[in-house]
Structure 1
Amino acid sequence: MHHHKKKTWKELSPMARFGTVMAAAVQLSLLIAAQRDISRRPAEQIRGSKALWRMVTLINFIGPGSYFAFGRKNLPVGRVS
Protein backbone atom coordinates (compact mmCIF):
# COMPACT_ATOMS: atom_id res chain seq x y z
CA MET A 1 0.00 0.00 0.00
CA HIS A 2 1.40 3.36 -1.03
CA HIS A 3 0.70 6.40 1.15
CA HIS A 4 0.75 9.87 -0.35
CA LYS A 5 1.86 12.68 1.92
CA LYS A 6 -0.43 15.69 1.63
CA LYS A 7 1.27 18.56 -0.14
CA THR A 8 1.75 21.76 1.78
CA TRP A 9 0.52 25.06 0.32
CA LYS A 10 4.11 25.93 -0.71
CA GLU A 11 4.44 22.63 -2.62
CA LEU A 12 1.35 23.26 -4.74
CA SER A 13 1.75 24.58 -8.27
CA PRO A 14 0.41 28.07 -9.01
CA MET A 15 -2.55 26.51 -10.91
CA ALA A 16 -3.31 24.19 -8.00
CA ARG A 17 -3.23 27.14 -5.62
CA PHE A 18 -5.51 29.13 -7.93
CA GLY A 19 -7.93 26.19 -8.19
CA THR A 20 -7.99 25.79 -4.43
CA VAL A 21 -8.68 29.50 -3.89
CA MET A 22 -11.40 29.50 -6.57
CA ALA A 23 -13.08 26.40 -5.09
CA ALA A 24 -13.03 28.04 -1.65
CA ALA A 25 -14.51 31.25 -3.09
CA VAL A 26 -17.32 29.34 -4.84
CA GLN A 27 -18.04 27.34 -1.67
CA LEU A 28 -18.15 30.50 0.45
CA SER A 29 -20.40 32.25 -2.08
CA LEU A 30 -22.83 29.30 -2.10
CA LEU A 31 -22.84 29.19 1.70
CA ILE A 32 -23.55 32.93 1.99
CA ALA A 33 -26.27 32.79 -0.68
CA ALA A 34 -27.98 29.83 1.02
CA GLN A 35 -27.78 31.38 4.50
CA ARG A 36 -29.13 34.70 3.18
CA ASP A 37 -31.99 32.94 1.41
CA ILE A 38 -32.86 30.98 4.57
CA SER A 39 -32.90 34.23 6.57
CA ARG A 40 -35.12 36.10 4.11
CA ARG A 41 -37.49 33.28 3.09
CA PRO A 42 -40.58 32.70 5.28
CA ALA A 43 -40.45 29.35 7.13
CA GLU A 44 -43.56 28.11 5.32
CA GLN A 45 -41.65 28.36 2.02
CA ILE A 46 -38.91 26.02 3.25
CA ARG A 47 -39.20 22.22 3.46
CA GLY A 48 -38.20 21.26 7.01
CA SER A 49 -36.77 23.56 9.64
CA LYS A 50 -34.62 26.60 8.99
CA ALA A 51 -32.20 25.45 11.73
CA LEU A 52 -31.70 22.08 10.03
CA TRP A 53 -31.06 23.69 6.64
CA ARG A 54 -28.59 26.13 8.23
CA MET A 55 -26.60 23.12 9.48
CA VAL A 56 -26.85 21.28 6.15
CA THR A 57 -25.52 24.28 4.19
CA LEU A 58 -22.27 24.05 6.16
CA ILE A 59 -21.40 20.83 4.28
CA ASN A 60 -19.06 21.73 1.42
CA PHE A 61 -20.89 22.24 -1.90
CA ILE A 62 -23.39 19.44 -1.19
CA GLY A 63 -25.17 21.41 1.54
CA PRO A 64 -25.95 24.64 -0.31
CA GLY A 65 -26.70 22.70 -3.50
CA SER A 66 -29.14 20.46 -1.63
CA TYR A 67 -30.85 23.47 -0.08
CA PHE A 68 -31.34 25.23 -3.43
CA ALA A 69 -32.46 21.98 -5.12
CA PHE A 70 -34.69 20.50 -2.40
CA GLY A 71 -35.09 22.87 0.55
CA ARG A 72 -37.12 25.59 -1.09
CA LYS A 73 -40.73 25.09 -2.03
CA ASN A 74 -41.64 26.11 -5.56
CA LEU A 75 -43.65 29.30 -5.59
CA PRO A 76 -46.58 29.58 -7.97
CA VAL A 77 -45.58 31.50 -11.07
CA GLY A 78 -47.86 34.41 -11.95
CA ARG A 79 -49.29 34.38 -15.45
CA VAL A 80 -48.41 37.21 -17.75
CA SER A 81 -51.50 38.37 -19.63
Structure 2
Amino acid sequence: MTKWSGLPRGRRRAIAALAAVQVGLAAAAWTDLARRPASAVNGPKGRWALIIGINFIGPAAWFRWGRR
Protein backbone atom coordinates (compact mmCIF):
# COMPACT_ATOMS: atom_id res chain seq x y z
CA MET A 1 0.00 0.00 0.00
CA THR A 2 1.42 3.36 -1.03
CA LYS A 3 1.27 6.21 1.44
CA TRP A 4 -0.22 9.55 0.47
CA SER A 5 3.20 11.17 0.53
CA GLY A 6 4.49 8.51 -1.85
CA LEU A 7 1.98 9.29 -4.58
CA PRO A 8 2.93 11.52 -7.49
CA ARG A 9 1.68 15.10 -7.24
CA GLY A 10 -0.75 14.70 -10.16
CA ARG A 11 -2.35 11.62 -8.67
CA ARG A 12 -2.79 13.34 -5.28
CA ARG A 13 -4.50 16.26 -7.04
CA ALA A 14 -6.79 13.91 -8.97
CA ILE A 15 -7.78 12.06 -5.80
CA ALA A 16 -8.41 15.33 -3.97
CA ALA A 17 -10.53 16.63 -6.86
CA LEU A 18 -12.62 13.45 -6.99
CA ALA A 19 -13.08 13.56 -3.22
CA ALA A 20 -14.25 17.18 -3.45
CA VAL A 21 -16.76 16.28 -6.17
CA GLN A 22 -18.04 13.34 -4.10
CA VAL A 23 -18.47 15.45 -0.97
CA GLY A 24 -20.15 18.22 -2.97
CA LEU A 25 -22.62 15.84 -4.61
CA ALA A 26 -23.45 14.17 -1.31
CA ALA A 27 -23.91 17.53 0.44
CA ALA A 28 -26.20 18.76 -2.31
CA ALA A 29 -28.24 15.55 -2.23
CA TRP A 30 -28.55 15.52 1.58
CA THR A 31 -29.55 19.18 1.58
CA ASP A 32 -32.18 18.54 -1.06
CA LEU A 33 -33.45 15.52 0.88
CA ALA A 34 -33.66 17.48 4.13
CA ARG A 35 -35.60 20.35 2.55
CA ARG A 36 -37.98 18.16 0.55
CA PRO A 37 -41.22 17.04 2.25
CA ALA A 38 -41.66 13.29 2.70
CA SER A 39 -44.56 13.35 0.25
CA ALA A 40 -42.15 14.44 -2.50
CA VAL A 41 -39.71 11.54 -1.91
CA ASN A 42 -39.92 8.11 -3.55
CA GLY A 43 -39.56 5.88 -0.49
CA PRO A 44 -38.48 6.50 3.10
CA LYS A 45 -36.26 9.52 3.70
CA GLY A 46 -34.06 7.53 6.10
CA ARG A 47 -33.26 4.96 3.45
CA TRP A 48 -32.36 7.70 0.98
CA ALA A 49 -30.11 9.35 3.54
CA LEU A 50 -28.12 6.11 3.74
CA ILE A 51 -28.09 5.55 -0.02
CA ILE A 52 -26.72 9.04 -0.63
CA GLY A 53 -23.67 8.06 1.44
CA ILE A 54 -22.64 5.49 -1.20
CA ASN A 55 -19.89 7.03 -3.33
CA PHE A 56 -20.95 8.68 -6.59
CA ILE A 57 -23.77 6.20 -7.12
CA GLY A 58 -25.87 7.32 -4.13
CA PRO A 59 -26.21 11.02 -4.97
CA ALA A 60 -26.76 10.19 -8.65
CA ALA A 61 -29.52 7.74 -7.69
CA TRP A 62 -31.15 10.37 -5.47
CA PHE A 63 -31.24 12.98 -8.21
CA ARG A 64 -32.48 10.41 -10.75
CA TRP A 65 -34.98 8.28 -8.80
CA GLY A 66 -35.39 9.65 -5.27
CA ARG A 67 -37.40 12.77 -5.99
CA ARG A 68 -40.97 12.99 -7.25
Shorter-chain TM range is: over 0.9
| Corresponding residue pairs, total | 68
> Which consecutive segments of 4 or more residues in structure 1 shift more than 3 A?
none
Across the aligned residues of Structure 1 and Structure 2, the Cα RMSD in angstroms comes to: 0.7
Tell me which protein shows more helix as a share of its residues. Answer: 2
User: Gaps spanning 5+ residues in structure 2: where?
Assistant: none
User: Gaps spanning 5+ residues in structure 1: where?
Assistant: 1-5, 74-81
- Aligned to 1:10, which of 1, 5, 14? 5
- TM-score scaled by length of structure 1: 0.81
- Aligned to 1:57, which of 39, 47, 52? 52
- Bigger relative contact order, structure 1 or 2, given CA contacts below 8 A and separation 6+? 2
